[in-house]
Amino acid sequence: MPNNETRFPCRKADSVSVDAFYLPTERGQRFCVLHPAEGTRRGAVLYVHPFGDEMNKSRRMAALQARAFARSGWDVLQIDLYGCGDSCGEFRDATWETWIGDVRTAWEWMERRTQAPVWLWGLRTGCLLAVAAVRARAAPAQLLFWQPVLSGQRYLQQFLRTRLAGEAIEGQARRDTAALREALARDGVLEVSGYALSADLAQGMNTAWLEMPPRGSEVRWIEVLPHAGQPLSEAAQRQAALWNGDGCRTSTTTTVGPPFWQTQEISECPALIASTISSMPQ
């Protein structure tokens, strides 16, 4: 693995310095953006982005939150996973295990840089990857969840349905997700919403679920709801309660705003940013 990171000149964003560079891995380079903490450093955070178009829809919110973290004294690293964004590789060649490896590489890099524990901040399927990286290390960790996906299998099912919806609009013969899975297994790749989904990536996602982090871990779980007074979903409440009962300290919070990871237009949720900052250790 190369030892030198390819770096770009620092630039300013909303008065906060950012440092863009390529992080070397065993499978090429990953594009990263580092937001250094302002003032006294409180800690470090690694952002793990969601899947497919949810990553693109969320870039604005992820950048706003990273800058808010930096202004509050947190180092923040954003990484584009293999085949995503400005990182090397093609999406069709990505695997779930490669993405977990990317998270672990970036996590270790941040630990070496800061000499401090790093919070893994996941959004949607990024929470599944963050938990997988933590469980691979088999040691207590700190996790921040934004709208976590509980089941990779269910998420994949919903993703495949977008292909069926497109086929219906075009007047093609009606199929179901089982037929799409058969085509994926046969051909090795399936085009879905502009993404070349590989059978290997689908298999990894299909078996992923939000498993409990190692005992002694700490989790901040935040969900965005459309209306005030709505409770966390029953499934999320059950999971958080089980984790707390089994030695993983899990706090849940809800806030009101749009589902920015899936809105047609790029949207923001200021209340989520404020809630996230206030939920972190002071």
Give the pLDDT band (50/70/90) at residue 57: very high
Domain hosting residue 244, numbered range: 6-149+211-279
Query: Per-residue pLDDT for 10 more than 60?
Result: no
Q: How many angstroms separate the CA atoms of 117 and 141, rounded?
A: 8
Q: Classify residue 231 as exposed, middle or buried by CB count within 10 Å of its CB (0-12, 13-18, 19+).
A: exposed
pLDDT at 6: 66
Of 15-24, 134-143, 256-265, give the lowest mean pLDDT range: 15-24
Q: How many angstroms separate the CA atoms of 104 and 98, rounded?
A: 10
Give the pLDDT band (50/70/90) at residue 2: very low
Q: Are residues 185 and 61 in the same domain?
A: no
In the predicted model, what is the mean pLDDT of the chain? 92
Q: Are residues 82 and 203 in the same domain?
A: no
Q: How many angstroms separate the CA atoms of 152 and 154, rounded?
A: 5
Q: How open is the CA angle 266-271-275, to the nearest 5 degrees?
A: 125
Give the pLDDT band (50/70/90) at residue 13: very low
Say if residues 152 and 205 touch (Cβ distance below 8 Å).
Answer: yes
Q: What CATH number is given to the structural domain containing 18? A: 3.40.50.1820
Share above pLDDT 70 across residues of the chain, in percent, rounded to a whole number: 94
Q: What is the pTM of this model?
A: 0.93
- Whole-Å CA distances, 134 to 48, 68, 215: 13, 25, 11
- Whether 124 is covered by a domain: the verdict is yes
pLDDT at 210: 97
Query: Per-residue pLDDT for 240 more than 70?
Result: yes
3-state secondary structure of 131: helix
